[in-house]
Amino acid sequence: MENGQKAINLLPGDYEQEGLYIILEDSRPLALTRNNIEQTAKKFWEDPGKINSKIKISAEFQRCDFCPLRKTGGLCDAIRPTFPFLDALDKYLSYDQVTAVYKDDKGGLCVHRTTMQKALRYLSVLSLVYYCQVTRKYWKHFWGIMPLMEAQEVAARLYLNFFYLSNGSKRAAEKSISKFKEEITITSRNQVKRMNLVCDNDAFMNAFVNTQIITDILSFDIGKFVDEGFNMRQPADLPTSLTLT
């Protein structure tokens, strides 16, 4: 291809389930799907050669203080999706280029040539919103968000979803956003601490930091950003109407 770009050849059979697939330079797609996560997380946790027993009982590795399962012990639910991929990603850095393929629930495919860090943003969102016992209550607020969107796009969609789910009340939406930011910031920071104990690769940790950046954008000025977007003037270069005779 021109400009040194590589051709991307996709085999439909490699992308049967909804989720994110990361195509590394020299291997088949790495499937970040719910089924794959569920099947491998338990096996990874029970393998004594994967995580040192001292790490498992360390303070940094425990559930968050406000987790409803804090007293039960065991593995934090939010970190489960990350374990199956630690070995495969060990030799990659956050800025390494990969091909990311996202399959939505309608069967559509979105293909991006991106960095490992951005591709793994989906995994961090999945961990914090669908697995975490505390922040999973926000899953509706992520409706319509495609994992490979830019941070500002994600934040804008989140804001609009909060607004809608607050019945159009800006005050209620901003109150909910404030609580969301508080809770998800704590969980994401704790995730980074846990990842520091079991992973030498910076891609995962930066992915969680990336999620925290999205919440900062959301709470800081995203309301103004959305207002300006809807109130922008019509571009001068839009095509004029054409009358056919």
Residue 242 resides in a domain: no
Question: Is the residue at 91 inside a domain?
Answer: yes
- What pLDDT shows up at residue 243? 54
Give yes or no for a contact between 103 and 112, defined as CB atoms under 8 angstroms apart.
Answer: no
Secondary structure element (H or E) that encloses residue 112, with its range: strand 109-115
Where helices occur in 49-169 by DSSP H, the ranges are 53-57, 86-89, 116-119, 121-126, 151-165
Q: Which residues of the chain have pLDDT under 70?
A: 1-8, 12, 26-27, 84, 88-90, 203-204, 217-226, 228-245
pLDDT at site 121: 80
Residue 82 within any structural domain of the chain: yes
Asked if the structure places residue 188 within a domain, the reply is yes
Q: Is residue 243 part of a domain?
A: no
pLDDT of residue 236: 60
Whether residue 170 lies inside any domain: the answer is yes
Domain count across the chain: 1
- 3 within domain boundaries: no
Which H or E element spans position 46? Answer: helix 34-46
Q: What is the pLDDT at residue 2?
A: 46
Strand 30-32 relative to strand 19-23, pairing: antiparallel
Tell me the residue range of the domain where 148 lies.
Answer: 10-230
Instruction: Label residue 144 left, alpha or beta by phi (over 0 means left) and psi (-120 to 50 means alpha).
Output: left
* CA neighbor of 77 nearest in space, from 65, 69, 85, 87: 69
Residue 103 lies in a domain: yes
